[in-house]
Amino acid sequence: MNVVAQGSGRDTTGTGGSSIITGKIFFPSGRRADGTIQVKLTSYNTADITVLADSSGSFTFTSIAPGNYTIEVNAGKEYEIAREGVTVDQQLQPPRVRGDETGMPSVSTARRYTVMVTLQPKAAENHGKAAVVNAALADVPEDARALYEKALTQSQNGDTAKAIDNLKLAISIYPKFPLALNQLGVEYLKSGDARRAVEPLRSATTLSPDAASPKLNLGIALLETKQFHEAEEQLRSALKISATPTAHMYLGLTLAHLHDGAAAEGELKAAIESSANQLTIAHYYLGGLYWQLLQYHRAADELDTYLRLTPNAPDAERIRGTIKELRSK
């Protein structure tokens, strides 16, 4: 089944979640893409969703549930079909403003994932299944793969416990299964058990040393379990592979715990800039950092920006009260 959304590069059908995937498409020369460009969001456990990129080469998928997705861009016969993987993680509960030594605030909000796609001129025709098979699953036994895909469906439906059980079974059949190990870590993070997430995520990073997602997730798990120095190492390693706004943001939070305020500020600002101001939660964390540094008016400004960009944020009234308190200092 393929759901085609009409409009200016934006889909609102979604897959039953609250996250957002946005992207920009560029030609090899670096200029912004134009013309009719089809962008498809695919996964193993949901119907495909297709949009047409707008005149600036932008596209957006909203209401996306946690899971592993592929962005497929078709710009016509002159260009290769481009594919980019996106792992949408469950929102975590970061540390709180009050009662936490770092001053980092606590909120649960939608995450935004930004994808930059550069089109490539079409090479020789290459038909056959190998061109579309996910290389990460190519060597996985069919029964292990089936359990993994079943776990993804259960995860999307909110049944984390069953997803964990099936991921464990898949890994018992095929221990060298980095996708399943990474997803198991994600499920533990979703369930609030960061301690159990660490071991499978370590294994995933060992098996896929060039993959950014397991390193990012391991960094988050280490941050949650207060292993700050190793968290910094993993997050910096993830950034070397893929400089995502989310990795910058979590590195900033880690550095705040390590009391490196200047470096934390730089990473949080990098998260904001590299996400084109779409990772709004980074403004919230930056406000918490400035509060920790006793820079009250800068803290208030960042929280103001956060509410301006996310007017329906959870605890919006509490945040407004915090802003008023900060401006009075």
Topology (CATH level 3) of domain 2-90+116-133: Immunoglobulin-like (2.60.40)
Residue 135 has pLDDT above 70, yes or no: no
The matching CATH number, chosen from 1.20.1250.20, 1.10.1070.20, 1.25.40.10, 3.40.190.80, for 135-242 is 1.25.40.10
Please report, rounded to a whole number, the percentage of residues in the chain having pLDDT higher than 90.
38
Lowest-confidence segment of 147-161, 208-222, 295-309 by average pLDDT: 147-161
Does 262-329 match 2-90+116-133 at the fold level? no
Q: Which residues fall within 8 angstroms of residue 185, CB to CB, at 6 or more apart?
A: 197, 198, 200, 201, 204, 214, 217, 218, 221
pTM: 0.62
Residue 199 has pLDDT above 90, yes or no: yes
3-state DSSP percent of the chain in helix, strand and coil, to 5: 45, 15, 35
Lowest-confidence segment of 14-23, 32-41, 213-222, 257-266 by average pLDDT: 32-41
Q: How confident is the model at residue 101 (pLDDT cuts 50, 70, 90)?
A: very low
Provide the residue type at 68 as one letter: N
**Model pLDDT for residues 45-88, shown as the tens digit of each residue:** 667 788 888 777 788 888 887 777 888 888 877 777 887 777 77
Distance CA 202, CA 185 (A): 9
Q: How confident is the model at residue 90 (pLDDT cuts 50, 70, 90)?
A: low
Residue 213 has pLDDT above 90, yes or no: no
Provide the residue type at 135 as one letter: A
Distance CA 201, CA 213 (A): 10
Q: How confident is the model at residue 176 (pLDDT cuts 50, 70, 90)?
A: very high
Domain ranges of the chain: 2-90+116-133, 135-242, 262-329
Neighbour count for residue 72 (Cβ, 10 Å): 18
How far apart are the two ends of the chain, measured CA to CA in Å?
57
* Phi and psi angles of residue 122, each rounded to the nearest 5 degrees, phi first: -70, 130
Q: 321: buried, middle or exposed (CB in 10 Å: 19+, 13-18, 0-12)?
A: exposed
Q: How much is the pLDDT for 9?
A: 58
Level-2 CATH architecture, domain 262-329: Alpha Horseshoe (1.25)
Q: How much is the pLDDT for 1?
A: 43
